[in-house]
Structure 1
Amino acid sequence: MSLTNAGAIANQSLGTIAAQINVVSRNIAGVNVSGYATKTALVSTTSNGGVQIDGVARATNAALVQNSLQATATQASAAALSSGFDQIDQALGLSSGTASDTSTNRSPASLLAALKSALQSYSASPSSTTVAQNVLASAKAVAQALNTADSTVQQLRTQADGEIASSVANINSILSQFQQVNADVVAGTQAGRDVSSALDQRESLLKSLSSEIGVTTVTRANNDMVIYADGGATLFETTARSVTFQPTGAYTASTTGNAVYVDGVPVTGASASMAIQSGKLQGLTQLRDVVAPQYQSQLDETARGLIAAFAESDQSGFGTTAPGLFTYSGATSAPSASVVPGLAGQIIVNPNADPSQGGNLDRLRDGGISDPTNSAYLYNTTGAAGYTDRINQLVASFSTTQSFDPSSGLGSSMSLQDYATSSLGWFEAQRQQAKDTESYQSTLLSQTTDALSNATGVNLDEQMSKMLDLENSYQASAKLISAIDAMYKALFQAL
Structure 2
Amino acid sequence: MSLSSALDTAKSSLMAAQTQTAVLSRNIANVNTVGATRKYAEAVTGNGGQVLIKSITQSSNTVLYRNMLDANSAVGRGNVIANGLNRINETIGDTALGRSPAALISKLGDALNTLAASPNNYELARTAATAANDVVVALNEASDTVQTIRRDADDELVIAAEEMTKLLAEIESLNRRVVTGTYAGTDVTDLNDQRDQAVVELSSYVGLTVQKRGQNDLVLYTDSGVTLFEGTARAVEYSGSGSIGAVITEGAAFRIDGVEVTGSNAVMPLKSGSVAGLVALRDETTVTYQTQLDEIARGLIETFKETSAAGAITQGIFTASGYTNTASVSVGTFAAGSLTTADVLTFDFLQGDTTYRATVSFTSGVPATAAAYQALLQTAVDTATPIGGG
TM-score, with length taken from structure 1: 0.66
Report the Cα offset of residue 320 of structure 1.
2.8
| Superposition pairs of residues 181-200 of structure 1, within 5 angstroms | 181-200=174-193
Report the Cα offset of residue 129 of structure 1.
1.3
Q: Which residue of 1 aligns with 2:150?
A: 157
What is the CA–CA distance in structure 2 between the aligned matches of 1:73 and 1:261, rounded to whole Å?
Answer: 18
Q: Which residue of 1 aligns with 2:200?
A: 207
Structure 1 residue 265 and structure 2 residue 259: aligned?
Answer: yes
> Tell me, what secondary structure is at the counterpart of 2:306?
coil
What is the CA–CA distance in structure 1 between the aligned matches of 2:31 and 2:224, rounded to whole Å?
Answer: 35
Q: Which residue of 1 aligns with 2:345?
A: none
Report the Cα offset of residue 219 of structure 1.
0.6
> Tell me, what secondary structure is at the counterpart of 1:228?
strand
Alpha-carbon deviations, 1:145-200, whole Å to 9, x = none? Answer: 11111111111100000001101111111001100000111111011010000000
What is the CA–CA distance in structure 1 between the aligned matches of 2:262 and 2:95, rounded to whole Å?
Answer: 38
Q: Which residue of 1 aligns with 2:358?
A: none
What is the CA–CA distance in structure 2 between the aligned matches of 1:284 and 1:23, rounded to whole Å?
Answer: 43
What is the CA–CA distance in structure 2 between the aligned matches of 1:136 and 1:26, rounded to whole Å?
Answer: 74
**Structure with the higher fraction of residues in helix conformation:** 1
Structure 1 residue 148 and structure 2 residue 161: aligned?
Answer: no
2:88 alignment partner AA:
I
| Superposition pairs of residues 244-255 of structure 1, within 5 angstroms | 244-255=237-248
Q: Which residue of 1 aligns with 2:69?
A: 69
**Counterpart among 90, 93, 96 of residue 94 in structure 2:** 96
What is the CA–CA distance in structure 1 between the aligned matches of 2:21 and 2:324, rounded to whole Å?
Answer: 87
Alpha-carbon deviations, 1:224-262, whole Å to 9, x = none? Answer: 011000011000000000011121234211223100011
Structure 1 residue 84 and structure 2 residue 78: aligned?
Answer: no
**Counterpart among 325, 331, 337 of residue 354 in structure 1:** 325
What is the CA–CA distance in structure 2 between the aligned matches of 1:107 and 1:320, rounded to whole Å?
Answer: 34
Structure 1 residue 237 and structure 2 residue 230: aligned?
Answer: yes
> Tell me, what secondary structure is at the counterpart of 2:268?
coil
Alpha-carbon deviations, 1:339-380, whole Å to 9, x = none? Answer: xxxxxxxxxx64345346x852597xxxxxxxxxxxxxxxxx
Runs of 4+ in structure 1 off by over 6 angstroms are none
What is the CA–CA distance in structure 1 between the aligned matches of 2:152 and 2:353, rounded to whole Å?
Answer: 44
Gapped runs of 5+ residues in structure 1?
Answer: 328-348, 364-384, 387-495
1:220 alignment partner AA:
R
2:160 alignment partner AA:
S
Structure 1 residue 312 and structure 2 residue 306: aligned?
Answer: yes
Q: Is the 8 A contact 2:95 2:103 kept in 1?
A: no
Q: Which residue of 2 aligns with 1:324?
A: 316
Alpha-carbon deviations, 1:73-109, whole Å to 9, x = none? Answer: 001100000000111222x2x14142xx32xxx2211
2:298 alignment partner AA:
R
2:200 alignment partner AA:
K
Q: Which residue of 1 aligns with 2:216?
A: 223
**Counterpart among 145, 159, 164 of residue 166 in structure 1:** 159
Q: Which residue of 2 aligns with 1:416?
A: none
Seen in structure 2, the aligned counterparts of structure 1 residues 320 and 264 have a Cα distance that, compared at 3 Å, is: farther
> Tell me, what secondary structure is at the counterpart of 1:48?
helix
> Tell me, what secondary structure is at the counterpart of 2:49?
coil
1:140 alignment partner AA:
N
**Counterpart among 104, 109, 127 of residue 102 in structure 2:** 109
> Tell me, what secondary structure is at the counterpart of 2:175?
helix
What is the CA–CA distance in structure 1 between the aligned matches of 2:10 and 2:353, rounded to whole Å?
Answer: 109
> Tell me, what secondary structure is at the counterpart of 1:275?
coil
Q: Which residue of 2 aligns with 1:126?
A: 119
Q: Which residue of 1 aligns with 2:291?
A: 297
Q: Which residue of 1 aligns with 2:41?
A: 41
1:318 alignment partner AA:
A
What is the CA–CA distance in structure 2 between the aligned matches of 1:353 and 1:189, rounded to whole Å?
Answer: 79
Q: Is the 8 A contact 2:322 2:353 kept in 1?
A: no
> Tell me, what secondary structure is at the counterpart of 1:216?
strand
What is the CA–CA distance in structure 2 between the aligned matches of 1:115 and 1:202, rounded to whole Å?
Answer: 61
What is the CA–CA distance in structure 1 between the aligned matches of 2:322 and 2:109, rounded to whole Å?
Answer: 20
| Superposition pairs of residues 368-407 of structure 1, within 5 angstroms | none
What is the CA–CA distance in structure 2 between the aligned matches of 1:271 and 1:186, rounded to whole Å?
Answer: 37
2:310 alignment partner AA:
F
What is the CA–CA distance in structure 2 between the aligned matches of 1:78 and 1:156, rounded to whole Å?
Answer: 16
Q: Is the 8 A contact 1:351 1:359 kept in 2?
A: no
What is the CA–CA distance in structure 2 between the aligned matches of 1:125 and 1:247, rounded to whole Å?
Answer: 55
Report the Cα offset of residue 301 of structure 1.
1.1
What is the CA–CA distance in structure 1 between the aligned matches of 2:326 and 2:307, rounded to whole Å?
Answer: 23
| Superposition pairs of residues 7-18 of structure 1, within 5 angstroms | 7-18=7-18
What is the CA–CA distance in structure 2 between the aligned matches of 1:322 and 1:56, rounded to whole Å?
Answer: 85
What is the CA–CA distance in structure 2 between the aligned matches of 1:264 and 1:359, rounded to whole Å?
Answer: 61
Gapped runs of 5+ residues in structure 2?
Answer: 328-348, 355-381, 384-390
What is the CA–CA distance in structure 1 between the aligned matches of 2:231 and 2:326, rounded to whole Å?
Answer: 72
Q: Is the 8 A contact 1:244 1:262 kept in 2?
A: yes
Report the Cα offset of residue 325 of structure 1.
0.5
What is the CA–CA distance in structure 2 between the aligned matches of 1:319 and 1:80, rounded to whole Å?
Answer: 49
Q: Is the 8 A contact 1:44 1:54 kept in 2?
A: yes
Q: Is the 8 A contact 2:172 2:232 kept in 1?
A: yes
What is the CA–CA distance in structure 2 between the aligned matches of 1:320 and 1:183, rounded to whole Å?
Answer: 76
What is the CA–CA distance in structure 1 between the aligned matches of 2:305 and 2:50, rounded to whole Å?
Answer: 98
Report the Cα offset of residue 323 of structure 1.
2.8
State percent identity of aligned pairs: 37
Q: Is the 8 A contact 2:323 2:353 kept in 1?
A: no
Q: Which residue of 2 aligns with 1:448?
A: none
Q: Is the 8 A contact 1:213 1:282 kept in 2?
A: yes
1:79 alignment partner AA:
N
What is the CA–CA distance in structure 2 between the aligned matches of 1:52 and 1:320, rounded to whole Å?
Answer: 99
